[in-house]
């Protein structure tokens, strides 16, 4: 892993965090029917969605 | 990564994206209303609801329900019968000219308590039907499905190659940077990278599960060949059992339910249809837990005798298909999940649209802007 190749923790930290959150959200929703599981799924998918909207539309 | 590798990945990303983007845009756009198909159905008045009655109201037999449905369309056969997703007070009976798969079907909704016909909604016309057909098979049947599956595969290649390119193209930028003040193309390149990175996992999962869904028809055919053909040996040379020859379907349902206590009926596939055999009515039962409700236990019942012939475990490839469906549809987790699914879908449209814009603007997306050219040149120096 080096900076030139583009595979550094600095570059991939946030994409990896968001990908893990998305995975947790997708799986949590599969095993739940209301309650904590659905709330977790919603939160985990809301964070990447909000991140995209924040940087793309709101942040100047 | 050296310059040659970077150019190779750029080429893969460009062409896998270019070939699939128009179709992916179509799928994202048509998928948007499909996320809310229940709600749109309510608004359009096409959703059927059972009139309220006490919970203990007795139910008519399934044989009676089928008789009522057949009386509406005496020239058709019953392919499937199922309860509504939300209520066991309704039976949906699907009727077609023959047991073969077709788009020419009629649906009869029968009240499970009274045996009254409540509605005959047409699912094969109108705006939502057009959206569904464009989304599923481009009005081209199995070839259309498989074609879209191939486009889904190209999308996955585009996502993987996009991941490889993300590092070299963003390594000098803080996460989330969008260079708005400079040329528009740079802004859209940053947006493409940012939105692509944020939706990476969701888009990959929805793309992969969509691709798996395009293989559904083939997987079911393989299942019939793989697991059901051995069961057919005693019936060799016999024609498809006709409805007039059926024993009691209600008793068959009860016999099937005894095979899997605690499970509920998902749907019944009658003789000769794609989900059954020529000699069996197959009862697909589902669990009642959130996850197991997605999985099905088929129970094949001899159509004439009403005796259970076989209750095979669903093979792994059909289990994978069934698990992949909610991950594609987003139809779990209620309205908040539907809204998030729609927002992520819109963000994916932005990723696709920005990629297309980057290519159209210069014609050479991989090396068109100063920054991209610099990245390639710098990589070249390293080789």
Asked if B343's CB is within 8 angstroms of A53's CB, the reply is yes
Q: Which of A20, A37, A55 sits opposite B178 (nearest CB)?
A: A55
Range of the domain at B67: 58-120+242-303
Confidence of residue B46 (pLDDT cuts 50, 70, 90): confident
- Point out the least confidently predicted range of B11-20, B168-177, B316-325: B168-177
For B109, other C-beta atoms within 10 Å of its C-beta total 19
Torsion of CA B109, B110, B116, B121, to 10 degrees: 0
CA distance B256 to B259: 5
Q: State how many domains chain A has.
A: 1
Q: Considering only CA atoms, which of B361, B354, B376, B324 is closest in space to residue B17?
A: B354
For B42, other C-beta atoms within 10 Å of its C-beta total 12
Predicted local distance difference test score (pLDDT) of residue B365: 43
- Please give the average per-residue pLDDT across B322-333, as a whole number: 90
3-class secondary structure, B117: strand
Tens-place pLDDT, residues B295-309:
999 999 999 999 999
Q: State how many domains chain B has.
A: 2
Tens-place pLDDT, residues B207-251:
999 999 999 999 999 998 888 887 788 888 889 999 999 999 999
Q: pLDDT exceeding 90 applies to what percent of chain B? A: 71
Q: Is the pLDDT of residue B363 over 90?
A: no
Measure Cα distances from B231 to B46, B102, B198, B263, B313 in Å. Answer: 40, 26, 49, 24, 14
Name the average pLDDT for chain B: 90
Tens-place pLDDT, residues A9-25:
888 999 999 999 999 99
- Point out the least confidently predicted range of B56-60, B191-195, B234-238, B259-263: B234-238
Length of chain A equals 60
Taking CB atoms and an 8 Å cutoff, what residues of chain A touch B195?
Answer: 52, 56
- The interface residues of chain B toward chain A in range 193-212, judged by CB-CB distance below 8 A, are 194-195, 197-202, 205
Supply the ipTM of this predicted assembly: 0.92
Q: Does residue A41 form part of some domain?
A: yes
Confidence of residue B188 (pLDDT cuts 50, 70, 90): very high
Distance of CA B337 to the CA centre of its chain: 17
Q: Does residue B153 form part of some domain?
A: yes
Q: In which order are the strands placed within the sheet that holds B296-302?
A: B117-119, B106-111, B90-96, B77-83, B264-269, B280-286, B296-302, B308-310
Q: Does residue A43 form part of some domain?
A: yes
- How is B99-114 classified by DSSP, letter by letter? SS--S--EEEEEETTT
Range of the domain at A45: 14-58
Q: Does residue B228 form part of some domain?
A: no
- Please give the average per-residue pLDDT across A16-35, as a whole number: 92
Q: Which residues fall within 8 angstroms of residue B333, CB to CB, at 6 or more apart?
A: A29, A32, A38, A41, A42
B179 touches chain A (CB under 8 A): no
Looking at the structure, tell me whether residues B202 and B149 fall in a common domain: yes
Q: Does residue A4 form part of some domain?
A: no
CA distance B241 to B223: 21
Taking CB atoms and an 8 Å cutoff, what residues of chain A touch B326?
Answer: 29-30
Q: Which regions of B84-181 does DSSP assign to beta strands (E)?
A: 90-96, 106-111, 117-119
Asked if B332's CB is within 8 angstroms of A30's CB, the reply is yes
Asked whether the beta carbons of B167 and A10 are under 8 A apart, the reply is no
3-class secondary structure, B309: strand
For residue A21, the distance in angstroms to the closest alpha carbon of chain B comes to 9
- How is B184-202 classified by DSSP, letter by letter? HHHHHHHHHHHHHHHSHHH
Q: pLDDT exceeding 70 applies to what percent of chain B? A: 94
If phi > 0 it is left, if psi is from -120 to 50 it is alpha, else beta; for residue B200 that is alpha
A43 touches chain B (CB under 8 A): no
Looking at the structure, tell me whether residues B267 and B378 fall in a common domain: no
Predicted local distance difference test score (pLDDT) of residue B371: 53
Looking at the structure, tell me whether residues B143 and B191 fall in a common domain: yes
Looking at the structure, tell me whether residues B198 and B146 fall in a common domain: yes
Report strand pairing: B106-111 vs B117-119: antiparallel
Predicted local distance difference test score (pLDDT) of residue B375: 56
Asked if B167's CB is within 8 angstroms of A7's CB, the reply is yes
Asked if B347's CB is within 8 angstroms of A13's CB, the reply is no
Tens-place pLDDT, residues B68-93:
999 999 999 999 999 987 789 999 99
Q: Is the pLDDT of residue B22 over 80?
A: yes
Q: Which of B202, B326, B350 sits opposite A30 (nearest CB)?
A: B326
Asked if B290's CB is within 8 angstroms of A30's CB, the reply is yes
B343 touches chain A (CB under 8 A): yes
* Burial class of B61 by CB neighbour count within 10 A (0 to 12, 13 to 18, 19+): middle
For residue B256, the distance in angstroms to the closest alpha carbon of chain A comes to 26
Q: Which residues fall within 8 angstroms of residue B82, CB to CB, at 6 or more apart?
A: B91, B92, B265, B266, B267, B268
Taking CB atoms and an 8 Å cutoff, what residues of chain B touch A5?
Answer: 1, 167-168
Phi, psi of B266 (to 5 degrees): -95, -60
Q: Which of A23, A42, A54 sits opposite B336 (nearest CB)?
A: A42
Looking at the structure, tell me whether residues B103 and B171 fall in a common domain: no
- Please give the average per-residue pLDDT across B346-373, as a whole number: 76
Looking at the structure, tell me whether residues B29 and B135 fall in a common domain: yes
Q: Considering only CA atoms, which of B333, B32, B342, B320 is closest in space to residue B202?
A: B342
- Indicate the pTM of the whole model: 0.87
Between residues B371 and B245, which one has the greater pLDDT?
Answer: B245
Q: Is the pLDDT of residue B372 over 70?
A: no
Asked if B166's CB is within 8 angstroms of A13's CB, the reply is no
């Amino acid at each position: 892993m080096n900076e030139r190749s583009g595979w550094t923790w600095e570059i991939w930290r946030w994409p990896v965090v968001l990908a893990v959150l998305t995975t947790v959200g997708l799986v949590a929703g599969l095993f739940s029917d209301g309650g904590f599981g659905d709330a977790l799924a919603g939160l985990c998918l809301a964070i990447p969605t909000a991140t995209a909207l924040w940087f793309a539309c709101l942040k100047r | 990564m050296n310059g040659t590798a970077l150019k190779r990945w750029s080429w893969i990303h460009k062409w896998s994206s270019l070939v699939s983007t128009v179709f992916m845009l179509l799928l994202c756009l048509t998928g948007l209303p499909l996320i809310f198909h229940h709600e749109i159905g309510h608004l359009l008045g096409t959703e059927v609801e059972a009139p309220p009655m006490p919970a203990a109201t007795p139910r008519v037999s399934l044989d009676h329900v089928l008789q009522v449905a057949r009386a509406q369309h005496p020239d058709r056969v019953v392919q499937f019968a199922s309860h509504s997703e939300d209520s066991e007070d309704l039976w949906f009976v699907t009727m077609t000219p023959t047991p073969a798969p077709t788009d020419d079907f009629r649906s009869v909704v029968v009240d499970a308590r009274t045996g009254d016909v409540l509605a005959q909604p047409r699912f094969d016309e109108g705006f939502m039907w057009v959206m569904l057909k464009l989304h599923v098979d481009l009005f081209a049947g199995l070839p259309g499905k498989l074609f879209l599956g191939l486009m889904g595969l190209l999308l996955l290649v585009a996502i993987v190659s996009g991941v490889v390119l993300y590092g070299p193209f963003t390594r000098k930028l803080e996460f989330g940077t969008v260079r708005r003040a400079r040329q528009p193309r740079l802004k859209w390149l940053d947006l493409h990278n940012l939105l692509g990175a944020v939706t990476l996992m969701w888009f990959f999962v929805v793309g992969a599960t969509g691709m798996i869904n395009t293989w559904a028809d083939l997987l079911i055919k393989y299942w019939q060949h793989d697991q059901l053909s051995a069961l057919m040996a005693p019936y060799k040379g016999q024609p498809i059992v006709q409805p007039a020859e059926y024993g009691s379907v209600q008793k068959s349902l009860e016999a099937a339910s005894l095979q899997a206590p605690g499970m509920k009926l998902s749907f019944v596939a009658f003789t000769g249809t794609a989900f059954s055999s020529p000699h069996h009515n197959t009862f697909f039962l589902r669990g009642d837990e959130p996850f197991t409700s997605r999985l099905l236990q088929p129970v094949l019942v001899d159509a004439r005798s009403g005796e259970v012939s076989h209750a095979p475990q669903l093979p792994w490839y059909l289990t994978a298909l069934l698990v992949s469906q909610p991950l594609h549809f987003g139809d779990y987790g209620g309205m908040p999940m539907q809204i998030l699914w729609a927002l992520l879908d819109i963000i994916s449209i932005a990723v696709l649209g920005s990629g297309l814009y980057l290519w159209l603007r210069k014609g050479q997306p991989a090396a068109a802007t100063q920054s991209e050219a610099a990245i390639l040149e710098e990589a070249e120096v390293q080789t």
